[in-house]
Amino acid sequence: MTVRVQAEPFDAGAELNAFAQGRTDIGAVVSFTGVVRDTKGDLQEMLIEHYPGMTESAIAKIAQEATTRWALTDVLVIHRYGPLKPGAPIMMVATASAHRAASFEAADFLMDYLKSRAPFWKKEVTAQGAAWVDAKDADEDALKRW
Partner 1 sequence: MNVVYFAWVRERIGLPQETVKTDAATVNDLIAELSEREERYAAAFADISALRVALDQELSDFDAPLDGVREVAFFPPMTGG
Positions in the binding site for partner 1 (CB under 8 A): 34, 49, 51, 53-54, 57-58, 79, 90-91, 111, 114-123, 132-135, 139-140
Contact 125, 45 (CB under 8 A): yes
- Which residue, 73 or 112, is less far from partner 1 as judged by CB? 112
- Which residue, 46 or 73, is less far from partner 1 as judged by CB? 46
Beta carbon of residue 134, minimum distance to partner 1 (angstroms, whole number): 7
- Which residue, 71 or 133, is less far from partner 1 as judged by CB? 133
Beta carbon of residue 31, minimum distance to partner 1 (angstroms, whole number): 14
Q: What is the DSSP letter of 139?
A: H
- The DSSP string of 51-86 is -TTHHHHHHHHHHHHHHHHS-EEEEEEEEE-EEE-T
Beta carbon of residue 97, minimum distance to partner 1 (angstroms, whole number): 21
Mention every residue, 6+ apart, whose C-beta is less than 8 A from residue 13.
Answer: none
